Amino acid sequence: MKCIYCNCTESRVVDSRPTEDGAIRRRRACEGCQRRFTTYEKIEMLPVLVIKKDKRREPFDAAKVRSGIIKACEKRPVPLGEIEKLVSHVETTVCSQPEQEVTSEKIGLIIMDGLRKLDEVAYIRFASVYRQFKDVQSFMEELQQLLDNQKKTE
């Protein structure tokens, strides 16, 4: 790290602590002039691209995930904190994979899995848009799967 006062490239870390935004604040002492200065370290995340159904690619956007989950949970007794946990889980899952591209289908499945555990009505709402049910029969099949899963966990 280069000293901002004398341009010396030798410094030692005197103090390190995390900041609220996830960075690390480091207090340094220059070996040349003995003055102190502060640096911040933040992990740089590589952008993840989402492959849409029409094969377009766009950057992953947690705000879109949040918006979809909020719409599915509208007028349901789901606390905002639980929604934020699910958004965080989706973002962590998508960004921690080794590939730099993920399909929108995979993101939808992660969201549906989280909503199934959170609120069944929200799950059905999201699934009805995500899976684009063509008729009542396909909707009923999804409901039956939900009921079967519920019986298994009881």
Name the residue among 106, 101, 105 with its Cα closest to residue 58.
Answer: 101
Query: CA nearest 70: which of 88, 89, 50, 84?
Result: 84
pLDDT score at 27: 97
Q: Would you say the pTM of this structure is higher than 0.85?
A: no
What pLDDT, in 10s, does the model give residues 1-34? Answer: 899 999 999 999 999 999 876 789 999 999 999 9
Q: What are the residue boundaries of the structural domains of the chain, listed by start?
A: 11-41, 49-153
Kindly report which listed range (16-25, 87-96, 97-106) carries the lowest average pLDDT score.
16-25
Which residues are registered as beta bridge partners of 27? Answer: 15, 38
Q: Give the model confidence (pLDDT) of 58-82 as tens digits.
A: 999 999 999 999 999 999 999 999 9
